[in-house]
């Protein structure tokens, strides 16, 4: 079998390693027939193989994460070890016991350094000067700092930062991630990094994040509750950061899960129509949900909405609290009992509390109304018309509580 040379963009290039592994392991290329090397600054790597002639395969999440952890390590043969782990799974053989032991030991070191960075970030990093830049020093033995660059960036609210490491400097200049010698760092693509050994949201102090965009980016990585592993993606809120009206529903539906945006399905289209009739421009408001992932049951090819439970609401509460803290709306409209109960901290019956302004502890005026999906469930046209008009009246009532300068 001819020898294959795979050139990676940098010493922890997980993206190219994965693309090459998908091709080579799919063709059962043995480990000793591959050489893994890192490109030099004056010779960029060629495109990775397409994998068109390889048999597809699936790898358990835990196995792929172990491979990613190994690639973050300092082992000189880490790419070959990680490849051998995947190949063994593809051809249904046991990995070499000595190699497996080395990989687990390396992964433990990577995990320990990741946890140390997460739990001590604000003692490691300090504000530098008056420009909003942070700087810190870390005695890292692995490439865990690079894989935790997202955590650092989100936790520091997207502000520029520099982390001095024993043989290199890792920094975020507000636009790009740079890594390498302090006098000649090179750009590193976030999407080329191995997934961190510790999830981004672990130990993330959401209350200290001052950028809504940073919160939204962090939420996209969230896998706290099981529901997140089945949904297509996180559906975060959207709208103006200066919005004076905030609308909160229960959770994204099927259309929202696929689009990655809140209130774009049938209920969302009805909501948009009602907003327009009430004289409220959606682009001037902030629209979100209590729960950020779609919870559903499969019935054949269909995905049927399932009501969010207490655990999902609790898991998503920090994200909703951050949206509310950073938006600071004057009027908070709770669409449905789930949103109202979560935000008011008690069981809410729509019939008792609908259309009644509520003074909230932060000075916001709250108002409870139905969720737009309630209108779609009405049994006949007369009921739909009546409930729709009442919903529009609730939206007008909410808008009336904006100060004249905010209207």
Q: Could you write out the three-class secondary structure of 156-179?
A: CCCCCEEEEECCEEEEECCCCEEE
Are the beta carbons of 341 and 377 closer than 8 angstroms? no
Residue 180 and residue 270 in one domain: no
Are the beta carbons of 83 and 30 closer than 8 angstroms? no
The domain boundary residue, chosen from 83, 114, 145: 114
- Distance of alpha carbon 261 from the chain centroid: 14
Furthest C-alpha separation in the chain: 77
Residue 175 and residue 101 in one domain: no
The domain boundary residue, chosen from 60, 95, 114: 114
Residues 216 and 199: their CA atoms lie apart, in Å, by 15
What are the structure tokens assigned to 171, written together? 């920094």
**Domain of 141?**
118-192
Residue 198 lies in a domain: no
Residues 354 and 359: their CA atoms lie apart, in Å, by 14
Residue 187 and residue 98 in one domain: no
- Distance of alpha carbon 339 from the chain centroid: 21
DSSP, collapsed to helix, strand or coil, labels residue 11 as coil
In Å, how far are 7, 18, 31, 43 from 46, measured between CA atoms? 7, 15, 20, 9
Pairing status of strand 331-335 against strand 365-369: parallel
What are the structure tokens assigned to 344, written together? 């008011």
Residues 278 and 18: their CA atoms lie apart, in Å, by 52
Residues 400 and 407: their CA atoms lie apart, in Å, by 8
Residue 225 and residue 336 in one domain: yes
Cα atoms found within 13 Å of the Cα of residue 23, Cβ hemisphere only: 16
44-59 pLDDT, tens digit per residue, is 787 777 667 788 899 9
Any idea what the CATH number is for the domain that residue 331 is in? 3.40.470.10
DSSP state of 348: -
Of all helices (H) and strands (E), which one includes residue 369?
A: strand 365-369
Residue 20 and residue 94 in one domain: yes
Residue 200 lies in a domain: no
**pLDDT value at position 76?**
97
Residues 13 and 32: their CA atoms lie apart, in Å, by 20
The closest alpha carbon to 350, from 333, 364, 362, belongs to 333
Residues 99 and 297: their CA atoms lie apart, in Å, by 41
Residue 130 and residue 100 in one domain: no
Residue 57 lies in a domain: yes
Are the beta carbons of 295 and 243 closer than 8 angstroms? no
Give the pTM.
Answer: 0.92
Residues 112 and 107: their CA atoms lie apart, in Å, by 9
Are the beta carbons of 343 and 356 closer than 8 angstroms? no
**pLDDT value at position 128?**
86
The helix, strand and coil proportions of the chain, stated in percent and rounded to the nearest 5, come to 40, 15, 40
Number of domains in the chain: 3
Q: Which residues of the chain have pLDDT under 50?
A: 406-407
Residue 70 lies in a domain: yes
Residue 143 lies in a domain: yes
Residue 107 and residue 122 in one domain: no
Beta strands in 231-295 (DSSP E): 238-239, 245-249, 286-289
Residues 73 and 247: their CA atoms lie apart, in Å, by 45
Q: Dihedral sign, CA of 11, 16, 21, 23? A: negative
Residues 164 and 221: their CA atoms lie apart, in Å, by 26
Residue 76 and residue 216 in one domain: no
**pLDDT value at position 405?**
60
Residue 241 lies in a domain: yes
Pairing status of strand 34-38 against strand 125-128: unpaired
Residue 247 and residue 392 in one domain: yes
**pLDDT value at position 1?**
67
Residue 206 lies in a domain: no
Residue 222 and residue 102 in one domain: no
The domain boundary residue, chosen from 60, 92, 114: 114
Residue 199 lies in a domain: no
Residue 71 and residue 175 in one domain: no
Residue 220 and residue 92 in one domain: no
**Rounded CA Rg of the chain:** 25
Residues 172 and 164: their CA atoms lie apart, in Å, by 12
> What is the torsion angle, in degrees rounded to the nearest 10, for the CA atoms of residue 93, residue 94, residue 99 and residue 105?
130
């Amino acid at each position: 079998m001819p020898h294959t040379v795979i050139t990676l963009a940098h010493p922890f290039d997980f993206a190219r390693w994965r693309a090459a592994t998908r091709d080579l392991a799919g063709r059962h290329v043995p480990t000793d027939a591959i050489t893994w090397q890192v490109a030099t600054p004056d010779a960029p790597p060629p495109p990775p193989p397409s994998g068109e002639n390889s048999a597809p395969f699936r790898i358990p999440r835990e196995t792929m994460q172990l491979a990613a952890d190994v690639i973050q390590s300092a082992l000189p043969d880490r790419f070959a070890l990680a490849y051998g782990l995947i190949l063994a799974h593809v051809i249904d053989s046991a990995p070499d016991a000595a190699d497996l032991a080395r990989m687990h030991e390396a992964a433990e070191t990577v995990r320990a350094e990741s946890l140390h960075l997460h739990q001590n970030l604000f003692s490691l990093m300090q504000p530098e000067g008056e420009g909003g830049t942070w700087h810190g020093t870390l005695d890292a033995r692995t490439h865990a700092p690079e894989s935790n660059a997202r955590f650092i960036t989100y936790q520091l609210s997207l502000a520029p930062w520099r982390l001095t490491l024993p043989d290199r400097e890792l920094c975020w200049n507000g636009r790009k991630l740079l890594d390498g010698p302090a006098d000649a760092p090179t750009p590193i693509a976030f999407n080329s990094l191995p997934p961190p050994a510790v999830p981004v949201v672990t130990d993330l102090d959401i209350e200290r994040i001052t950028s809504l965009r940073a919160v939204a980016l962090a939420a996209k990585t969230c896998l706290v509750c099981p529901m997140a592993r089945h949904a297509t993606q996180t559906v975060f809120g959207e709208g103006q950061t200066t919005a004076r009206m905030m609308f909160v529903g229960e959770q994204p539906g099927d259309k929202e899960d696929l689009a990655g945006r809140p209130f774009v399905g049938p209920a969302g289209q009805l909501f948009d129509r009602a907003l327009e009739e009430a004289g409220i421009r959606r682009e001037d408001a902030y629209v979100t949900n209590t729960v950020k992932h779609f919870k559903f049951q499969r019935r054949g090819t269909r995905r049927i909405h399932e009501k969010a439970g207490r655990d999902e609401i609790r898991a998503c509460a920090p994200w909703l609290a951050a949206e509310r803290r950073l938006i600071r709306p004057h009027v908070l409209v709770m669409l449905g009992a789930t949103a109202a109960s979560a935000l008011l901290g008690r069981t809410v019956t729509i019939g008792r509390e609908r259309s009644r302004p509520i003074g909230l502890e932060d000075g916001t005026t709250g108002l409870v109304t139905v969720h737009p999906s309630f209108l779609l469930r009405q049994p006949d046209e007369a009921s739909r018309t009546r409930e729709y008009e009442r919903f529009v009246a609730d939206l007008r009532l909410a808008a009336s509580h904006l100060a004249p300068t905010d209207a």
